[in-house]
Amino acid sequence: MAQLTKVEEDIMHIIWRLERCIVSDILNEIKEESGSKPPHSTISSIARILETKGFVSHKAYGRTYEYFPVVSKEEYTKATLNKLVSNYFEGSMSNLVSYLVKEEKINMDELSQMVEKLKD
């Protein structure tokens, strides 16, 4: 699976949330989140890049394109996490969890709760 840039990933999160959208819908979401609005052409270019990378597809209504995801957020999350674990934790989820505990990103109570959930 292709890797997304930060901006592409931000746009994908909007598309995942909206499910079907046109560029102006994406622009409205960006404006609500950040208070500013990038040019229409910029978002249109990013949407086309996402399509080239296989993350979205579109349906044309004249000159207007309605974009929709073809890669689910769950699929992307799984691939990204697997790549992170592979590249930084020697492919070991245990190493990842150990790192999170060591860096105090997760405490022992949370870890115990996770283990209990996994047992169910």
Decide: 27 and 37 in contact? Cβ < 8 Å: yes
Q: What is the pLDDT of residues 23-34, one digit of tens each?
A: 999 999 998 888
We find that the CATH architecture of domain 6-69 is: Orthogonal Bundle (1.10)
What pLDDT shows up at residue 119?
Answer: 80
Closest to 57 (Cα-Cα) out of 48, 46, 68: 68
Q: Which of 68, 30, 64 is nearest to 51 (CA)?
A: 68
Indicate if the pLDDT at residue 120 is higher than 80: no
Note whether 15 and 26 are within 8 A (CB): yes
Which pLDDT belongs to residue 27?
Answer: 96
**pLDDT at residue 34, rounded to an integer:** 83
**Cα–Cα distance for residue pair 42/23, rounded to 1 Å:** 10
Residue 56 confidence (pLDDT): 98
Q: Answer left, alpha or beta for residue 64, where phi above 0 means left and psi between -120 and 50 means alpha.
A: beta
**What's the whole-model pTM score?**
0.83
Domain boundaries, the chain: 6-69, 73-119
Residues 62-118 have pLDDT tens digits of 999 999 999 999 999 999 999 999 999 999 988 988 898 888 888 888 888 888 877
